[in-house]
Every structure is written in structure tokens, then in C-alpha cells.
Amino acid sequence: MSVQATPTKIEKLAAVKGMNDVLPPDSAMVEWLEAKVRALMARFAYRNIRTPIVEKTPLFIRGLGEVTDIVEKEMYCFEDRLNGDPLTLRPESTAGVVRAAIEHNMLYDGGKRLYYMGPMFRHERPQKGRYRQFDQIGAEALGYAGAEVDAELILMANALWKEIGLEDVRLELNSLGQSAERLAHRQALITHFEQHQDQLDEDARRRLYSNPLRILDTKNPHMQALVEAAPKLMDFLGDASLAHFKRLTSILEANQVAYTINPRLVRGMDYYNLTVFEFTTDRLGSQGTVCAGGRYDYLFEQLGGKPSPAVGWALGVDRVLELARSAGLKAMNPTLDAYAIVSDEDALPLVLATLQTLRTAGLSVQMHASSGSGMGSMKSQFKRADSSGARYALIFGQDEIAAHQVTVKPLRDASATQATESLRDVATWAVRLQSNA
């Protein structure tokens, strides 16, 4: 006697809030952007680096600074279950790249130009353009001190906007100078904000003495006027810092790159000095920064390495693609050359061998498959072939198989005629199908 178990309803599982699936056809847009970036990076002689997604927590605390939004509120931290090590899902990649450069002594024979792509994790309030897992693409030039490398990175980002058809991206620049200059400015800032204590929000009050510069990065609309009136770091810069900035802007001008100077641009991490910049747009509402970066000449030392100047940027893949979409770019389904339909399962070994030859010749071929047993009727297979968008249907019917042939039926070109081809010389007609594309 068999006992039937009462079926219990199994609950569906959803993805973690703020962490999104990227499905086809949207995933094709991500691949498209990545391919554009790879080609661009190659032209600027930047090479790919792949660091782990998990790093030891002190890397970010030391690297980004203790009094920053990321370290204070946004990191996904956990303990290694086996040895208790404090670990963190990377919220950004610059610290990891510099850690790797130090660990592998990458700068032993001079500077390195690097780029990365991949997911970052920040526990933020999810909204359009702001997620808890999001992809960044970044470029880092390690071991170079000159403003011409700051300029090169900006020109490279600018070339990317051109290449992918983005027009309303604006460049904002600032200089954070060097630490002695920031110290004098810091005192002036504290004095300014102390005079308006009542207008400071909780974050700002907490940071007034620990990191007043960070107050300039506030997103609180009620504090904008106060921040606007704050002393400008640019007015505290010495000759060397100003010269660096001047060299950068003159290279940009020679390359017809428009920019505005934003004296309140300070960026969210403590590791920056001299040049900082952001590419912004009005099209994405309040999440308007698509790419941001700057110079971080002291990060190597802060992470225990030999002092080495460096500069870089990171762009938000979601925001760049959203902008590309608003400029009219559509996700494309990759074009399919052929869709194979088969009347008799016994023919499948021969059919699959044929499709393999076509694929080796470079054609994209989809094999019909069904969710039940058998192949399904020829009529329903034809329907699938049509809706697949393929240029040709490859018909392996009973007659064809018996004669060791296939019928090649054009699906998109009404003037083209259908042909019968031999399975013995697939490679020959494969070339013909391809050249008809």
C-alpha cells in the first residue's frame, strides 16, 4: 500500500532587495557596453585586472576612510565562518586594485594602466539608478604623477560617451589640493559651519570636527545654500597644485573637452587629492552622476605600499545604460542565422552533427527543442522558427533525411528561393548562407 503525501505549497524565492537579475534582451546591452569598453581600453593601452569580490574589511576602512558614507553605513560585512576573519563584499574596486598592485609589486618596472568591470555592493536605499549590487567599469593609472594622465583618463571617458552616442554628459572638475592646503581650508570650513550649527543635519554635526570636507558632499537639499556659501578649497591651493590643475585644463581645452569647475565637488572617499571630476547628466533625475574619479596619490602608502601616485575613475553601468536607453538605444536580440526543425527524433544524431559544422563555420544556429516528449508537430516547429527571427529554417523532414539532405528555407527575404542541400557538403553551403547575411 502506498501512502500519498499531502502536497505542501512550496514558497517562491525572490532575489535580495536592490539586487537585480539582468535578463535577455537587456543583458545584450550590458555585453554591448562591455565590448565597446574593451576595445576602447585596448586603444588607450589599458589592460584588464580581475580582483576578488570579497576583501578583508580593514582594506576598505583604511582605504576609503572611516568617516565616509560607504564605511559608516553601506558595506556588507561578515565574518568568515571558519576562522572569524572580518570580510566585506567590495563596495568599490580602487582599494582592491591598489592592494593587488602592492601585493604583486606590479609597479616594479614602472607605471601600469589597468581597467576592471564587475559587481560592487553597497547597502543603500534602492531606487532608480541606485542599487545594492551594481556593476562598475573602472580605469586606474598607477604610478603616474602628471596631469597629462588625469587628462588621458578624462579623454578616454569622453571618447566612450561619443562612441556609444551619449550627448548630454557634462564634465565637472575640482582640485582638492594637497593635505597642508586642505588643512587650512578645513579650519575655515569648521569656522563657517560652526556659525550655522542650527542648519546642520545629524550627519553634518557628527562630521563637523572629524571630516568637515565630507559635509560638502551632502545630498540634503536643506543644506545646499549653506554648502554653497562655504569657503572654497580652490582659494587655498598653492602654486604646485594650481599648476597641476592648469596643465589638466589646458590639455582638455586643446582637445575641445568642455568642463565646468565645481568648487564643491569633493567625492565620497577620503583617498582623493588634487584632481577630482564627475561626468553628470540631467536626464537621470537625482542619480545624475554616471562616472566619477580623481587622483589618489596617498592610497598606496595608506595601504602599506611604497608611495606611488595614481589616478582613476569608475562609471556606473546601470546609469550609463539607462542614459543610452533614454537617448534611443534599444536592447538588441542577437541575430540568429538558422533555426533547425526536425520531424523524427531518430534523425537527431545526424542533424546535430550537421549543425555543429555550421556553427564551426561561424553561423549561429538554434536547434528546436520541446518541453515535452518528442519534437512536436512540424507546424508548431515552423511557428517557432518564424518567431525566432532566424534568417533561415533548416528543415530536416522525413524525405530530406532519407535522401541525406536538408531544405534551406529563407524566412525574411521574400524574393529568395528555398534550396535543397546535401548533408555531405555542409561546409560549402554554410559559406553561402553566411555571405547572404
Residues 6+ apart with CB under 8 A from 33: 137, 164, 317, 320, 321, 324
Looking at the DSSP bridge assignments, the partners of residue 314 are: 138, 292
Of 230 and 291, the one with the shorter C-beta distance to ligand ATP is 291
Of 318 and 337, the one with the shorter C-beta distance to ligand ATP is 318
Of 123 and 192, the one with the shorter C-beta distance to ligand ATP is 123
Residue 205 φ/ψ, nearest 5 degrees: -60, -40
Identify which range of 107-115, 131-139, 205-213, 415-423 contacts ligand ATP by CB under 6 A.
Answer: 131-139
Neighbours of 317 (CB within 10 A): 23
- Name which position in 90, 99, 113, 122 contacts ligand ATP (CB under 6 A): 122
Confirm or reject binding of residue 318 to ligand ATP (CB under 6 A).
yes
Of 216 and 314, the one with the shorter C-beta distance to ligand ATP is 314
> Residue 127, SS3?
strand
- Name which position in 56, 123, 130, 283 contacts ligand ATP (CB under 6 A): 130
Rounded to a whole number of angstroms, the minimum distance from the CB of residue 104 to ligand ATP is: 24
Confirm or reject binding of residue 289 to ligand ATP (CB under 6 A).
yes
Confirm or reject binding of residue 292 to ligand ATP (CB under 6 A).
yes
Task: Name the strands in the sheet holding 405-410, side by side, starting at the edge strand that comes first in the sequence.
Answer: 365-367, 338-342, 392-396, 405-410, 419-422
Of 60 and 134, the one with the shorter C-beta distance to ligand ATP is 134
Pairing type for strands 338-342 and 392-396 reads parallel
Kindly tell me the sign of the dihedral angle through the C-alpha atoms of 318, 324, 172, 148.
positive
The DSSP secondary-structure symbol of 424 reads G
Of 292 and 342, the one with the shorter C-beta distance to ligand ATP is 292
Confirm or reject binding of residue 276 to ligand ATP (CB under 6 A).
no
The 61-100 contact track toward ligand ATP, x by CB under 6 A, reads: -------------------------------x--------
Of 252 and 284, the one with the shorter C-beta distance to ligand ATP is 284
The torsion defined by the Cα of 268, 132, 61 and 51, in degrees rounded to 10, comes to: -100
Question: How remote is the C-alpha of 417 from its chain's centroid?
Answer: 45
- Name which position in 319, 368, 391, 409 contacts ligand ATP (CB under 6 A): 319
Of 99 and 122, the one with the shorter C-beta distance to ligand ATP is 122
Identify which range of 103-111, 250-258, 285-293, 300-308 contacts ligand ATP by CB under 6 A.
Answer: 285-293
Confirm or reject binding of residue 136 to ligand ATP (CB under 6 A).
yes
Confirm or reject binding of residue 290 to ligand ATP (CB under 6 A).
yes
Of 123 and 359, the one with the shorter C-beta distance to ligand ATP is 123
The 23-52 contact track toward ligand ATP, x by CB under 6 A, reads: ------------------------------
Identify which range of 24-32, 239-247, 289-297, 372-380 contacts ligand ATP by CB under 6 A.
Answer: 289-297
Confirm or reject binding of residue 124 to ligand ATP (CB under 6 A).
yes
Contact criterion met (CB below 8 Å) for 394 and 378: no
Give burial (CB, 10 Å; 0-12/13-18/19+) of 388: middle
Identify which range of 2-10, 153-161, 284-292, 352-360 contacts ligand ATP by CB under 6 A.
Answer: 284-292
Question: How remote is the C-alpha of 433 from its chain's centroid?
Answer: 36
Of 295 and 368, the one with the shorter C-beta distance to ligand ATP is 295
Rounded to a whole number of angstroms, the minimum distance from the CB of residue 94 to ligand ATP is: 9
Interacting residues with ligand ATP (CB under 6 A) = 92, 122, 124, 129-131, 134, 136, 268, 287, 289-292, 314-316, 318-319
